[in-house]
Chain A
Amino acid sequence: MGTEEESRAASAESFHPSNEDIEKWMASAFDMAKDALENGEVPVGCLMVYNISEPKPSPFEMFYMVALDQLLDWCHHRNLDVKSVCKQTVLYVTVEPCIMCAAALRLFNIPVVVYGCRNERFGGCGSVLDVSSADLPQTGTTFKVCVGHRAEEAVEMLKTFYKQENPNGDQTISSLLQIFFLCIFSPPFLFVFFFVPPPFTSSNISWRHLCYKYTLCRASFQHHFLETLHKQF
């Protein structure tokens, strides 16, 4: 356990969550996803954890959130510099972020993203494009990805969701990644934002529909967030 100074310097160098952290926070992300599934939402859970390298986190030094917007608000409220907070923040999510979200995470200088299953259809961390490590000097900073934690479980939840959603889903489930599209963050918000591509239900999901969905979803996440905090402390 070297000195605190040393460990802090080391963590700045190679900021990476420990296996314990991954297990713990991914469990929270999965709880959120399950919650969403029970509420008829796309089962994707996402949270951000700040300052995990601090030896004794207090409730006030941590947060989880689903929206980069919330992160912005959080920083403004506490008079913290968004950039320096982001540099110490890990994002945990059950499914690989889409290309747009991956770029947004770069623009926010998030250094590490831990995700469960791959997103063959829209994934921006290697599945369709690799935005996370691409040479884009004007698009924020690259981030490390840590893949595969409870991947099968994440896929199972999505399968369950799409079986409920789509009566013809059975034939298509086998080529499961064909039918879902989800992304974490959003054009206007980092939210869990999802739509189902053609030929399934795309035509009946409009943007504003998404926005409503997002609002609902965010509310449920917030609710969950408070509950988790309550239990924990």
Chain B
Amino acid sequence: MEPQTKRWKGSVCDTDSWVPYPVLSDEQSQEVGLIEAFAAPILDKKETSRLVRELNSVYPLSGLQHIKRVRVCQKEGSPHPLEVLVCRVSDAPDMKVISIDSLLPSDGVRCNGLGEPFVVKVPARPPLTRPQFELASKHWPTSFHEDKQVTVALRGELFSPPQKAAMHAYMMSAVAAARAAKKMGMEPVGAVVVDPSTERIIAVGHDCRADHPLHHAVMVCIDLVARSQGGGCYSFDRYPACLTSLTSDAFHNEPDTDASSQPYICTGYDLYVTREPCVMCAMALVHSRIGRVFYGNTAADGALGTKFRVHSQKDLNHHFEVYRGILSKQCEDLNVPTAT
């Protein structure tokens, strides 16, 4: 690891000027939400394990397995050090006056040892990220199965300096393509598809929508990747900045002879694009089985975080990781009209 880091140190890119942040699913990004429940102070600490056992059988709190049943009393100087969760407010029987006796059926739980109930708010679903966990724990102790990678990614520290340097270089190619598009009067958007296992650029494309309303940079890139595998449906020869590396074996392979060993077009590949893809492009990336997507800036109609999160849409058959903020400054500058 160390020598590699040194090698990259010499390269001329200010990888510190940008931070890649993950674009997580709705469940991971939204607050966990709260529901109301009854809790009661435990008057006699020695009764705790019996009370928990008996409460568990009367009110099992199914669906709230992430909630810890007992917590240390939050108020300082309280005479009762522990509090126990009795039940959801929605599960409680109808009561005129809230009391511990009316909450508990007389035969199930001996309620000696419990104080008068009060209403608390508890997290409605398990926290998936550290920020969610920290917020949820403020309300009631919650268990958390941490996904370390997500935690590190949320801090913007998932990628090592050499990895960031490589990402920087790929995105620079996309920016260059975007500039070429801008010169031709197209939208200033560029995209690059990379095979991370060989660190080779497979295709570079830019927006061509002045000629065809569907030729967004990502669509152009996908078609170029297909081209590199002997497929593809369009010719982008008149755009010198739209390139694909034609592998020699793509020509040796007769179409369909070896189809079973061929993955979908973009399987395992990374896409770098200067601006967040639209719905059409995002779904095309699902269809072509992209591995990961890195983009510079968000877009008003973006479908990988802004308007939709197509990459983590539950019902779809392919999901992928998305990171934003790569070279965000350079990508943002593309939108500045050039003085003529």
- A: residues with CB less than 8 A from B are 68-69, 72, 82, 98-100, 102-104, 107-108, 120-122, 124, 127-129, 131, 134-139, 181, 183, 186-190, 195, 197-198, 202-212, 214
Contacts and interface: CB of A to CB of B under 8 A. Distances in A.
A129 B307 CA distance: 11
Nearest to A123: B315
A52 B32 CA distance: 51
Contacts of B213: 82, 107-108
13 contacts: A99-B310, A104-B280, A107-B214, A108-B214, A121-B315, A121-B316, A128-B315, A129-B308, A138-B301, A187-B223, A195-B264, A197-B318, A202-B264
Interface in B188-233: 212-214, 219, 222-223, 225-226, 229-233
Contacts of B212: 69, 72
Contact of A136 (B222, B230, B301): B301
A7 B43 CA distance: 80
Contacts of B286: 99-100
A202 B283 CA distance: 17
A72 B215 CA distance: 13
A207 B214 contact: no
Contacts of A197: 317-318
B279 interface: yes
Select the residue from B212, B307, B318 with max chain A CB neighbours within 10 A: B307
Contact of B300 (A137, A181, A209): A137
Given A188-B233, A208-B226, A100 B279 contact: yes
Contacts of B317: 121, 181, 197-198
Contacts of A120: 315
A183 B287 contact: yes
Given A122-B316, A124-B283, A202-B264, A104 B229 contact: no
Contact of B262 (A104, A189, A206): A206
Contacts of A189: 233
Contacts, number: 130
Interface residues of B, number: 42
B259 A206 contact: yes
Given A120-B315, A188-B233, A207-B226, A103 B263 contact: no
A42 to B, nearest CB: 14
A100 B287 contact: yes
Select the residue from A69, A100, A107, A195 with max chain B CB neighbours within 10 A: A100
Given A138-B299, A187-B223, A198-B317, A206 B263 contact: yes
Given A98-B283, A100-B283, A136 B307 contact: yes
Nearest to B209: A107
Nearest to A201: B260
A212 B233 CA distance: 10
Q: At the interface, is chain B mostly helix, strand, loop or mixed?
A: loop
Interface of B: 212-214, 219, 222-223, 225-226, 229-234, 255-256, 259-260, 262-265, 278-280, 282-284, 286-288, 299-301, 307-308, 310, 313, 315-318
Contacts of B260: 203-204
A206 B287 CA distance: 11
Contacts of A204: 259-260, 262
A108 B209 CA distance: 12
Contacts of A122: 283, 316
Contacts of B222: 187-188
B315 A207 contact: no
Given A181-B317, A187-B219, A203 B279 contact: no
Contacts of A209: 231, 255-256, 259, 262
A4 B114 CA distance: 82
B300 A207 contact: no
B255 A208 contact: yes
Nearest to A134: B307
A188 B219 contact: yes
Give 3 closest A-B pairs by Cβ, nearest first: A208-B231, A103-B280, A100-B283
Given A138-B300, A207-B265, A107 B280 contact: yes
A212 B256 contact: yes
B279 A136 contact: yes
A47 B318 CA distance: 29
Select the residue from B232, B283, B286 with max chain A CB neighbours within 10 A: B283
Nearest to A203: B260
Contacts of A72: 212
Contacts of A82: 213
Contact of B278 (A135, A139, A195): A139
Nearest to B224: A188
Nearest to B299: A138
Nearest to A86: B213
